[in-house]
Structure 1
Amino acid sequence: MTRSFHRIACEGETLAASLDSGTEATGLLIVSGGNEIRAGAHGGMAQLAGRVSEQGFPVLRYDRRGIGESSGENREFLGSADEIAAATQFLRQKQPRVNKIIGFGNCDAATALAFFGPAAGIDGYLLANPWVIEASGEPDSEKPLPSSAAIRSRYWDRIKNPRTIFDLLSGKIDFRKLLKGLKQASRVEENSAISIQLRDALPRLDGNSQILLAKRDTTARAFLAAWNSPDFATLRASTSITLETLDSASHSFADEPARDWLTDKLMEALRQA
């Protein structure tokens, strides 16, 4: 299989893209999360594309507008509908054998795929650690504020660890910070607006869809808290959405066990499409 570089037209701008060719009739579209370039995180997406392509499945990755080698203004993940549509169309054009496309994204890319994938004509989805965390709401602040449920989950893990008591007594854990964290965890709150948007978007996805969670990751904890809430009860009962968890804190599935688990899930979805 070969890897080639391309420029994809997108609303007067160009997206820098890498295509790993393949002979199979199902292709994989990788959408980068955050402001990562198509090789991120730390080259993991490029390596993932290579592993999938070695099995015969073509893979397209691209930089969103205003990111990496792509031109234009960075409109963040909520403004990425045009990029997803342009990349999907390009993959079909360059690999005419392809009749189905599976979309994969991590973090806010997963949420973007859920929002914009159906209009782009994507046929199946693997959404890893979907982003549902709102901004803190403080003036001039873009720092995300984890949900109370996510904080509770993290602190419960720490409390269960016997070493926590030793670290408290030895001063390695700041007792005042611990109390502050527990106070945050005690808040009772509603699901974020973006989590409700995601809940409403997920049933509209074509084909079978999987949500993949590294369950000790903060972003995954926030999504899981929303998923387990009453707001998501109907969605949980749906047969078209499945949720798979991995006991890992690796947000980008960077360590070897997480990387292998993610690759296996992608290959399974591609072969069954």
Structure 2
Amino acid sequence: MTRRHLTFHCEGDILAATLDEASGTDGLLIVSGGNETRAGAFSGQSHLAARIAAKGYPVLRFDRRGVGDSSGQNRGFRESREDILAALAAFRDQCPNVSRIVAFGNCDAASALMLMRGDGCDALVLSNPWTFEDEADDAYALPPPEAIRARYWAKLRNPAEWLRLLRGQVNLSRLRQGLGAAAARSAGPTGLAQEMAKGLDGATKPYAILIAGNDRTGLAFDRFWTTHGNLQQGPVYRCPGASHAYLEPHAAEWLEAQVMAMLQG
């Protein structure tokens, strides 16, 4: 496997990318979420790219405009369509043997792919899509009420948790806060979530949705999708105990397996 760095143009700006070369005719485009660089959190995307390429599938990662090594203004995920299309064109130019491209995005990168209906891609792997209306929402806010209720129900069935309560090892203030949140009614879908669902309904390609079991962003989308999404079109896969970036060893292996399943499909 050879890893090399390259640049390509997008509406007058220069975007930086990394290509892990391989001989396969199916390739993976990794779209970074948030303001992360193409390496991903703790180099998670870099490691994923190396493992996928070692199995024979070329992988391209890139920094969108205004992020990392790319020039231009950071316009956010809602305005990243042209960046993604330019990356797809560069991928095909650099790897003319590639006839099919699967795009993988985590967090608002998944949202961006949904909003653009996956145009230019042949299949989508959408992980923990971001549905919060404002990017400045408190990142440490409580998960959806359904997730909190499920967590407390699991604790009620665990004798060790009752012992912790009797021994005074439970923060009662946080417990009251959690119980109040669990009793709250679920909020309705945001306008962004509805836009994403509409975009995905308009997509004409296979996709899979991945949810990390310990991630607030993923749980919020899961709640919305099971109520409002088209479950007949694309399956939802859940990884228990996984954080947002799938940093746990079992979660990293699970993520790789899901991506490989779509590449081989």
Alignment of structure 1 residues 150-161 onto 2, 5 Å: 150-161=147-158
1:156 to 1:77, Cα distance in 2 relative to 1, 3 A:
farther
1:20 to 1:117, Cα distance in 2 relative to 1, 3 A:
farther
Please state whether the residue corresponding to 1:220 is helix, strand or coil.
helix
Letter in 1 for 2:203: L
Q: Displacement of 1:214 after TM fit?
A: 1.7
1:65 to 1:173, Cα distance in 2 relative to 1, 3 A:
farther
Alignment of structure 1 residues 55-134 onto 2, 5 Å: 55-119=55-119, 121-134=120-133
C-alpha RMSD of the superposition: 2.0
Alpha-carbon distance in structure 2 between the residues aligned to 1:226 and 1:29: 26
Give the conservation status (yes or no) of the 8 Å contact 1:102–1:270: yes
What's 1:271 paired with? 264
Alpha-carbon distance in structure 2 between the residues aligned to 1:174 and 1:220: 26
Q: Deviations over 1:31-82 (max 9, x none)?
A: 1111111111111111111111111211100112111111122112112111
Q: Displacement of 1:186 after TM fit?
A: 2.4
Please state whether the residue corresponding to 2:235 is helix, strand or coil.
strand
TM-score w.r.t. length of structure 1? 0.88
Give the conservation status (yes or no) of the 8 Å contact 2:210–2:236: yes
Q: Displacement of 1:158 after TM fit?
A: 4.3
Q: Displacement of 1:171 after TM fit?
A: 4.4
What's 1:176 paired with? 173
TM-score w.r.t. length of structure 2? 0.90
1:208 to 1:122, Cα distance in 2 relative to 1, 3 A:
same
What's 1:25 paired with? 25
Structure 2 unaligned regions, length at least 5: none
Letter in 2 for 1:129: N
Alpha-carbon distance in structure 1 between the residues aligned to 2:64 and 2:204: 23
Letter in 2 for 1:13: D
Q: Among all aligned residue pairs of Structure 1 and Structure 2, give the percentage whose two residues are the same amino acid.
A: 39
Aligned partner (choices 138, 145, 160) of residue 143 of structure 1: 138
Alpha-carbon distance in structure 1 between the residues aligned to 2:93 and 2:130: 30
Alpha-carbon distance in structure 2 between the residues aligned to 1:158 and 1:253: 24
Q: Displacement of 1:23 after TM fit?
A: 1.3
Letter in 2 for 1:143: D
What's 1:203 paired with? 201
Alpha-carbon distance in structure 2 between the residues aligned to 1:155 and 1:8: 50
Q: Displacement of 1:160 after TM fit?
A: 4.3
Letter in 2 for 1:181: G
Q: Displacement of 1:172 after TM fit?
A: 4.0
Alpha-carbon distance in structure 2 between the residues aligned to 1:130 and 1:71: 26
Structure 1 unaligned regions, length at least 5: none
Alpha-carbon distance in structure 2 between the residues aligned to 1:251 and 1:99: 31
1:200 to 1:176, Cα distance in 2 relative to 1, 3 A:
same
Alpha-carbon distance in structure 2 between the residues aligned to 1:101 and 1:112: 16
1:197 to 1:151, Cα distance in 2 relative to 1, 3 A:
farther
